[in-house]
Structure 1
Amino acid sequence: MESPHRNPNFTTDRPVAVLMVFLAAIVFGYFSLIQLPVTLMPEMSYPTLTVRTEYPGAAPEEVENDISRRIEEALGVVGGLNEISSISRAGVSDVILEFVWGTSMVDAIQNTLEKLDLVRLPREAEKPLLLHYDPSLDPVMELSLSGSSRSIKYKGDEGLRRLRRIAELQVKRQIEPIKGVAAARVRGGLEEEIHVLINEAKLQRVSLSIGQVISRLRAENINAAGGRIQEGGAEYMIRTINEYQSLEEIANTIVFRREGREIRVKDLGQVVYGQRDREMMTKTDGNESVQIDIYKEADANMINVAEQVSRLIGKISGSSRSTLAGKLRAEEDAYLRVVADRSIFIDSSISEVMSTAYFGGMLAILVLLIFLRDLRTTAIIALSIPISILVTFAPLNILDVTLNIMSLGGLAMGIGMLVDSSIVVLESIYRCREEGDSIRKAAIRGTKEVRGAVIASTLTSICVFFPMVFVEGLAGQVFSDLGLTVVTSLIASLIVAVLFIPMLASRTGFQLKSDAGMVSHFFGSINGRMNLSSYWLRFLFPAAALLGAMLVVVLSYTWWMVGAMDDPKFEEEIVYGAVAMSVFSFWQLVCFIPGIIALAKRLHDLGRTAWWLLAAAAPPVVAMIAFVVAMIEMGDDSNPASFALFALFEGSGLLMLVSWVPAWLLTLICSVVPGSKNENRFGQADHEGQTLAKLWGSFRAFGESHQRNRTVFLATSPYFALRLAVSFLLELIGLSLVWAIRAVSFMGLTAYRAIMKIGSVFGSLLTKVFGEPKGDSTDGTGKGFYRSLIHWALDSPVAMIALAAACFWV
């Protein structure tokens, strides 16, 4: 027994506080994980700017002297500039600015623009353009909109103009409001314009210039503000609305008045619909189409954006109008499809890294289980892996690290190192426990003895990866996420090892009272008997009443919501039959396991063992497996017609129907055949004691509430009825969870025993191969494969040196 004057220790004496601290860190890490952007590679920004200036008609020498040199002289004093160069060719000047890695490109662009405003360039030169390449500005997705080759609406130039109009007015307007989408750019097709075609001969005949016509059209096609006027207490804003609305208005524009005669645009030429000069041509499956490029916001998750866009577009499925592609197919006879999606490669790459990390973590746990051969110790160490990983995401979010193949690769790389500290600490605690210390003292002393070594070993690993953060250039931008991820995960694992692991190791577990919770519930075990009347009145009838109450509540709430929304479209989408079916499915899922237990107790009442349930359930399971295999063999041809033919000729559907006959017969027998009132091998028949209050805690609490509130019970009966339904539903859910946990625990225990058996057999085989260790076991090493291997290495140093040399050579 420990001394009452024991030294206080926060880790072992405040387990709830330690648990809450780590639980808060896990919650922060989880929400940080949700907020982290997903990209393929770390954000890379090339510190390069290009100033492009066009000087039409100028030779390269004039471009260099009049443009390039002046810009170089003005921009040479920009802060952070590493190198400046220029390329002068006929009509174009490119001045390239290379900045030091780490320079803020936002500040560099602003300073460059300020210096460009001070440069005096020839009048003939165009305004300089500032160009900056950013890989994150590439489109996330590329869509193709093409018309049906059979439709006459998409023939010739008019068809391309129609495609462009559909892309801008329908597709673009529906995609851009999606959260995370920055813009949707339409390219290809023919962009509509209005062309004013002036006849040169007519223009010369009236002595007018083309400039006069252009200035007159520009002056007429304008909306201008006219100021404000006040009338009494009201103030009015005046606007001059004079933009053209049709071709006739443009044609009737008066260009000049001469000797009472008005010369209009239509007297000088004609006004027609046309299109802008084409800069690119896009084709899909050999037919001309329109391309829509989708760009994401800077901090948006690329995968989520692509999923939302794909969900909006959907698939072309006949005349279905539930998706944008189906609507365009039905109404416009046009095909909208995704032709390029960067998120697919990113998602597959990240999924591959994550699956590798999962596999590595499971393999590490399996190796620990084989060598430690202790389920509790392995569980404690295995628990440290997800905790350390989840806690890592919180600082990564603060450091603006994205989820990419480098950061996830760092996590995958660090999974093996995450358990090192935990293994050392837990092994030290286990050794102190073998030396006779109490659980609390062993946790304190074992952690204290190895704390310095664990911190030192973690710091050595940190010293290897942390310098990656300070690497400059492109390599620094690529590998800094890897270094930060490994460092933060190692720090998190160190904190878990010295605080969380000792707290768990100092716990002796908890004991449930014999009458606590679902463990002692009547349906918490298959022991005992249940008579026929109790089966109908205490199980089936309450379950059916619960189903009725659930249907009334859910359908009433749905009806009220439809009325409150006052939206005909929403009302059309609501199908009460589907809502009722979903409620029935949930009720069936909740009552399934308690129903199986009730059938087992009915079999006991009939003097039969519960193994009959497995015999009745085996045929449906086998038939279901056969049915699934048959459906897989059918492949994509699983439409209702082919399914009916398959069921008719191959017998799979008939097999499914027949396989349920034993289960139905067993259920029918248990539902109608009364049991014996005498004692059998499963116990006595307690017909009087099986009341609702004895079988169900919710009904027992309902009866107690009725006794306490007898005077006002009638007025508050709706409240108590609703509380009874909710508590009964929660009781059924609790029973289902208890049995589900038992099933999972049984499978885990079976797998554990199988692994231990395989490890034991494997160790015995290797022991036979290497032989027993020489000498006695007075040194305390005992027997075992690991100890035999150590003895063999000590007895055969030449062989060990040769083996090491061979490994080094390989």
Structure 2
Amino acid sequence: MTRYFIQRPIAVIMTFVALIGLSVLAWLNRPVSLLPDIDVPEMAIRVDYANASPEAIENNILKPMRESLATMQGLSNLQSTASNENGLLRLRFNYGQRMDLAFVEVNEKIDRLTDQFPEDMSRPRVIRVNYTDIPIAKIQLIPKDASNIVESSRLAENVIKKRIEQIEGISLVDLNGTVDEQIKIIPDLKALERAGLEIEAISKAIQSANQELGGVEVKDGQYQYYMRMAGRLNNAEDIAQIPVKINEEKYIPIHDLAEVKTAEEKVSGFHFFNQNRGIVMNIHKQPQAVMTELMPEIEKSIAQFKKDYPTLDIAITQDQSIFLKAGINNLQGSLLFGGLFAFAVLFLFMGSFRLPVIMGISLPLSLILSFLFFEIFDLSINIISLSGLALGLGMLIDNAIIVLENISRKRMEGLNLMDACVAGVTEVQGALISSVLTTLAVFVPLIFLNGVSGVLFFDQAVSVGIILSVSLGVSFVLLPLLYRLFFEKKKDFKKEDSRFFKSIVRGFEKSHHWSFRNKGLSLFLIIMIIPLGLWAFWNMEQKGLPKITRTDAVVKINWNEPIDVIENANRIQELLENLNSQLQFSETDAGIPQYLLSLENAELQESLIYLQFKNEEAIGEQLNFLENLVRQSYPKASYEKENAKNAFDMLFASEEPYFRVQWQDPNLKNASPAAIKPVLESFPAENFQVATIFGGRKQHDFNHQAARIITIWD
């Protein structure tokens, strides 16, 4: 077979050119994302009910939903949390469950319960949990004049949000910090008393005027017209002119009985960027979008927004594409250094410039051809699949070196060029195939892992198998052909080993002879290596992920006091003013955020702060300083610091506690700190933390019972 390919160089080269073209098209059409598209078997239901206590949300909303959803097929865990004005119910299913069908079923069950919910409550929101759908970036919109927050909110919702969503590949723009305008009517009690009216007269007049009237049909000969009578109130001026009936003959406008004005609506949360109030946009991409192409389009739009809307300061933060860029750069670095080292090895050991050139052709060619099989197996270009390619690059180089060296050795034995190419490849085919199969024997079982790990390592295992298989094809077909084309004009072949190679050979021969002359000592040294290796293994630090250089962190503060969101925001602003110049920027969500995809059950007295520092050394110092400041100024407050979340932390939970303990009492309605105190005194762990609870405002529910969470840190 090898002889057949070598004798038809034009056909082989044209075939590879065609495959390269298809591979380039496949590469351009492959989605580029941070991680593979993972169908996480989790779902969340958010409940927003203004002015409702945790008990009301639990008894009237969460409990009926739990009882209805508990019968769902494949449901493995059901847990709810109730707090002031909102609640959260999380569902976890067995891996492999059809989440699209489960999503439909959950919505159907909620629709059946709608009649049981309070009339003034909005419909609960069902959210699919997808860790690969974290925001790829955040856009900060800060009005230069703080009083223009309402106009900026309208601009963000009606213009900027829609224009960003028009970018191909964007699935959702999730906003927080927007403020709507409301109309306030402040009755003048003295004017009402003089007119002999009650306050209800104003509300009745407004309700009567704010009606959608039916259409009117007007005929004019052979023409027919449909007219709609506008009756809806649009602004404060319309309301101010509404007449209020005093008697059958006298009416008085509302502006004589009350003050009518526009003002900001009451909000339950604020967003700050560098201590300036503003609006944040979380940008979510579609699964098939190419992230590396998406971010330049977003940046281009932002540049245009800055020109069109000079009243806004606009910035992009928390760009998640840097992880993907780092992965691509690592692959490019592996390819570059792998090729350079391969050239150096060939130059040092073989002393021929032709062999490095052949290597320089086959190495990137194998990598490009791999993307054709990415298209066939429907793999995306992500960190996991790229890591598989990087792993396979080393063995790809090995295969090429072995084939080229063996062909050269056959020529040294006296075979002509054609026979040397054929014999050199045929002789090592079995060994190379066996070597590749033994490597695949390690990675292929990863395909059969269960859960999220199986989905992640599927891409890695398949990509390793692809590049190794492609390397075999290139080594058996293209390399001998290139060898023949490069060496066919060289009549006299003589392999010239470099001095470096000869010195290594001499050193190896000396060590080989020494080990055979001292068999006992050699065996003793080998045996001693085994316990040293075991000792090193047992003393190695074990982690889910290697340490990542970080310059950002997240701080959660719960004041544990019945304060409003304005006081909450003021306290955060005062704290951040004490941080030094090492802080690059900060983002704060004070109170309850407006995100549609939020899975946090926040409260008015809670704040989430994202801190970006200039270097890693400043993180520990500044966070400890901030914690001490909180402890001194607000002793009741709880302070939690953690790494800023990214896709890897959410999937692998590298900074999560060792495990969590759910403590519950069937006879306990509220898991108060006093009730759990006897348990903590005899708890069999030293380093643990109890979940924060404030005056019964938050309830963790598991299996329909009040509970407390005990977090165990190893």
TM-score range with shorter-chain normalisation?
0.5 to 0.7
Measure, in 2, the Cα distance between the counterparts of 1:465 and 1:226: 74
- CA drift of 1:360 comes to 3.0
Cα deviation per residue 1:608-665 (whole Å; 9 max; x = unaligned)? Answer: xxxxxxxxxxxxxxxxxxxxxxxxxxxxxxxxxxxxxxxxxxxxxxxxxxxxxxxxxx
Give the aligned residue type for 1:259. E
2:6 corresponding residue in structure 1: 12
Aligned in 2, Cα 1:18/1:762: closer, same or farther, shift over 3 Å? closer
Is 1:325 the counterpart of 2:306 in the alignment?
Answer: yes
SS in 1 for 2:269: coil
Give the aligned residue type for 1:378. P
2:258 corresponding residue in structure 1: 269
Percent identity at matched positions?
Answer: 27
Measure, in 2, the Cα distance between the counterparts of 1:392 and 1:182: 29
Cα deviation per residue 1:384-435 (whole Å; 9 max; x = unaligned)? Answer: 2212211112222444433333222222221111123333333443344444
Give the aligned residue type for 2:77. E
Verify the 8 A CA contact 2:34 2:383 in the aligned structure 1: yes
Aligned in 2, Cα 1:309/1:90: closer, same or farther, shift over 3 Å? closer
Is 1:129 the counterpart of 2:149 in the alignment?
Answer: no
Is 1:141 the counterpart of 2:137 in the alignment?
Answer: yes
2:436 corresponding residue in structure 1: 458
- CA drift of 1:464 comes to 0.9
Aligned in 2, Cα 1:392/1:268: closer, same or farther, shift over 3 Å? farther
Given candidates 347, 350, 361, the residue that maps to 2:339 is 361
- CA drift of 1:283 comes to 3.3
Aligned in 2, Cα 1:198/1:350: closer, same or farther, shift over 3 Å? farther
Higher percent of residues as strand: 2
Measure, in 1, the Cα distance between the counterparts of 2:409 and 2:5: 19
Is 1:216 the counterpart of 2:194 in the alignment?
Answer: no
Aligned in 2, Cα 1:103/1:400: closer, same or farther, shift over 3 Å? farther
Is 1:442 the counterpart of 2:438 in the alignment?
Answer: no
Give the aligned residue type for 1:29. S
Aligned in 2, Cα 1:396/1:103: closer, same or farther, shift over 3 Å? farther
Aligned in 2, Cα 1:53/1:197: closer, same or farther, shift over 3 Å? same
Cα deviation per residue 1:60-97 (whole Å; 9 max; x = unaligned)? Answer: 88877765564344334433333345557788765432
Counting matched residue pairs gives 522
After TM superposition, list the pairs within 5 Å mapping 1:717-728 onto structure 2: none
2:372 corresponding residue in structure 1: 394
Verify the 8 A CA contact 2:2 2:476 in the aligned structure 1: no
Is 1:79 the counterpart of 2:73 in the alignment?
Answer: yes
Measure, in 2, the Cα distance between the counterparts of 1:109 and 1:403: 28
Cα deviation per residue 1:20-47 (whole Å; 9 max; x = unaligned)? Answer: 3322222232233333333333344431
1:780 corresponding residue in structure 2: none
Is 1:97 the counterpart of 2:86 in the alignment?
Answer: no
Aligned in 2, Cα 1:418/1:786: closer, same or farther, shift over 3 Å? same
SS in 1 for 2:485: coil
Given candidates 342, 356, 361, the residue that maps to 1:383 is 361
Measure, in 2, the Cα distance between the counterparts of 1:354 and 1:259: 86
Give the aligned residue type for 1:139. P
Pick the structure with greater CA Rg: 1
Measure, in 2, the Cα distance between the counterparts of 1:760 and 1:805: 35
2:17 corresponding residue in structure 1: 23
SS in 2 for 1:272: strand
Which stretch of the first structure deviates more once superposed, 106-115 or 173-182? Answer: 173-182
Give the aligned residue type for 1:144. Q
Structure 2 residues without counterparts, runs of 5 or longer: 490-494, 534-714
Give the aligned residue type for 1:107. L
Give the aligned residue type for 1:108. A
After TM superposition, list the pairs within 5 Å mapping 1:304-343 onto structure 2: 304-314=293-303, 323-326=304-307, 328-329=309-310, 332=311, 334-343=312-321
Given candidates 455, 458, 461, the residue that maps to 1:483 is 461
Provide TM-score, normalisation by structure 1: 0.56
1:567 corresponding residue in structure 2: none
SS in 2 for 1:281: strand
Aligned in 2, Cα 1:99/1:166: closer, same or farther, shift over 3 Å? closer
Measure, in 1, the Cα distance between the counterparts of 2:473 and 2:264: 67
Q: Could you say which structure has the greater relative contact order, defined with CA pairs below 8 angstroms and 6 or more residues apart? A: 2
Aligned in 2, Cα 1:805/1:248: closer, same or farther, shift over 3 Å? same
1:42 corresponding residue in structure 2: 36
Structure 1 residues without counterparts, runs of 5 or longer: 1-6, 149-153, 315-322, 512-755, 768-782
Measure, in 1, the Cα distance between the counterparts of 2:458 and 2:420: 40
Measure, in 1, the Cα distance between the counterparts of 2:51 and 2:277: 35
SS in 1 for 2:32: coil
Measure, in 1, the Cα distance between the counterparts of 2:242 and 2:141: 38
- CA drift of 1:109 comes to 0.4
- Give the superposed CA RMSD: 4.1
- CA drift of 1:467 comes to 1.4
- CA drift of 1:259 comes to 1.5
Higher percent of residues as helix: 1
Give the aligned residue type for 1:79. Q
1:297 corresponding residue in structure 2: 286
Measure, in 1, the Cα distance between the counterparts of 2:162 and 2:48: 35
Aligned in 2, Cα 1:441/1:166: closer, same or farther, shift over 3 Å? same
Give the aligned residue type for 1:26. I
Aligned in 2, Cα 1:91/1:193: closer, same or farther, shift over 3 Å? closer
Aligned in 2, Cα 1:163/1:91: closer, same or farther, shift over 3 Å? closer
Cα deviation per residue 1:95-135 (whole Å; 9 max; x = unaligned)? Answer: 43211123332221012222333447635374443233323
Verify the 8 A CA contact 1:145 1:336 in the aligned structure 2: yes
Is 1:404 the counterpart of 2:385 in the alignment?
Answer: no
Which stretch of the first structure deviates more once superposed, 75-84 or 253-262? Answer: 253-262
Give the aligned residue type for 1:42. P
Verify the 8 A CA contact 1:140 1:294 in the aligned structure 2: yes
Aligned in 2, Cα 1:297/1:452: closer, same or farther, shift over 3 Å? same
Aligned in 2, Cα 1:297/1:57: closer, same or farther, shift over 3 Å? closer
1:747 corresponding residue in structure 2: none
Measure, in 2, the Cα distance between the counterparts of 1:215 and 1:68: 34
SS in 2 for 1:195: strand
Measure, in 2, the Cα distance between the counterparts of 1:145 and 1:93: 29
Verify the 8 A CA contact 2:240 2:253 in the aligned structure 1: yes
Which stretch of the first structure deviates more once superposed, 389-398 or 174-183? Answer: 174-183
Verify the 8 A CA contact 1:354 1:408 in the aligned structure 2: no
Verify the 8 A CA contact 1:29 1:392 in the aligned structure 2: yes
- CA drift of 1:347 comes to 2.4
Give the aligned residue type for 1:250. I
Measure, in 2, the Cα distance between the counterparts of 1:407 and 1:394: 14
Measure, in 2, the Cα distance between the counterparts of 1:789 and 1:505: 35
SS in 1 for 2:24: helix
Verify the 8 A CA contact 1:82 1:99 in the aligned structure 2: yes
Is 1:107 the counterpart of 2:101 in the alignment?
Answer: yes
2:183 corresponding residue in structure 1: 194
Verify the 8 A CA contact 1:50 1:131 in the aligned structure 2: yes
- CA drift of 1:506 comes to 3.9
Verify the 8 A CA contact 2:206 2:239 in the aligned structure 1: no
